[in-house]
Amino acid sequence: MNDLTLIRKNVFRKKLRAILLTFSILIAFFIYGGLGAFYAVWNSGSELAAENRLVTVNRINFTVSMPIAYYNRVQALEGVESASHANWFGGYYQDPTQQVQTFAVEPASWLEVYPELVFPPGQAEAFINTRTCVAIGEDLAGLYGWSVGDRIPLLSNIWQKTDGTSSWELDICAIFDGETDEYPANYAMFHYDYYNEALAFNRDQIGWMVINTVSAEQNQIVIDTIDGLFANSPAETETSTEAAFSEAFANQFGNIALILLSVVGSSFVTILIIVGFTLVTAINERTSEIAVMKTLGFPAPRIFRMVLAESILLALIGGLLGLGLAYGVVSALAAAVSAFLPGLSLPLDVFLTGVGLAVLLGLLTGLIPAINAQRVDIVSALGKQ
């Protein structure tokens, strides 16, 4: 009988205890995997941001608008390769509970600053040239069953038209996607001019500008130039990289990283205590058995390694089962929540980190029992029989 067989038999010598410990570890790693997947998609905006892309908003707050004249001046600045602008529409379809994340944009320049948006042949041109066109993200189209050729009303809970209504009639002439699954396709875009001409208030205002610089090395120069250009104006600006803007926007909803760390950390500490005490108890129950093994010629270092391996094996079994369950649940949810959390998946780095944490958990919980097993005195242990 080799060491691996002994280790496996010792892990499962008391099946109920092994099952309960495995289940406890499984739950901890299931929570870790699920929250890790959520955290990855929550921060995907900053990770997918182009290095040479900037975002300019009103210095007071990104919800406060700026004159569209700012856009015309920014376009002409040295170091600016392309620029566009957008307004938050705050749309919904038929009922306020059916939210549709909608932006009013200038189509031609928007597609220039976001080349990662992919359209079927001819549909990008249709979006640019059709005044009443709305381009729908593939995930959003799937959610509502929309297709090219449909005419839909999008209503706003913010903006009102001069005729007293808040509904814009739009023709779906394009359905877009991102160049990879990580890029969101859960929103809609329609013409700024069509939106602006019907507004009852706040005409000729924009929410933010997006600027692509000629190179990332020019970012700070362009940032300083833009914000300096509008310093001491009625609407001062704040410009940052797209990654920094996305991170700041995510932080508006709270420190997600701290929340995740607190939840996962508390789970791991709890499991560490449970598994640690259980293993210490299990080794104490086997004191005489370990003494017999030493009598038969098992050296102390070998016993140390075997007990430590038992702990690591137990942690790996529970950890891999938990990560596997997290992968299955996240994969099952991905399609259902694609309109709200596009690109939801269990990233490889989260999985590999989880495996590493399982090994670490096994080492931490098994170290004291392994030391105790190594120190078992043959005479004392057998004398208790």
Q: pLDDT of the chain along its 385 residues, tens only?
A: 566 777 777 677 778 888 888 888 898 889 888 888 877 776 665 566 778 999 999 988 777 899 999 998 999 899 999 999 999 998 888 888 888 889 999 999 999 999 999 999 999 999 999 999 999 998 889 888 999 999 999 999 889 999 888 999 999 999 999 887 777 788 999 999 999 998 988 899 999 999 999 998 999 999 999 999 999 898 999 999 988 887 766 555 455 566 666 777 777 777 777 777 777 777 766 666 666 666 766 777 777 888 788 888 888 999 999 999 999 988 888 766 655 566 677 888 889 998 998 898 888 888 877 787 776 656 554 555 5
CA distance linking residue 377 with residue 225, whole number of Å: 76
The answer to whether the CB of 239 falls within 8 A of the CB of 223 is yes
Whether the Cβ atoms of residue 103 and residue 87 lie closer than 8 Å to each other: yes
The domain limits of the chain are 3-44+255-383, 65-234
Using alpha carbons, list the distances in angstroms from residue 116 to 125, 181, 225, 245.
Answer: 16, 11, 27, 18
d(CA 358, CA 318): 8
Euclidean distance between CA atoms 164 and 203, whole angstroms: 15
Contact in structure between 125 and 163 (CB atoms under 8 Å): no
Residue 168: per-residue pLDDT: 92
pLDDT of residue 345: 77
Q: What CA–CA distance (Å, rounded) separates 346 from 282?
A: 35
pLDDT value of position 290: 67
Environment class of residue 88 by beta-carbon count within 10 Å: exposed (0-12), middle (13-18) or buried (19+)? middle
Q: Return the DSSP state at 217.
A: G
Global pTM reads 0.66
Judge residue 260's burial from the number of C-beta atoms within 10 Å of its C-beta, 0-12 exposed, 13-18 middle, 19 or more buried. Answer: middle
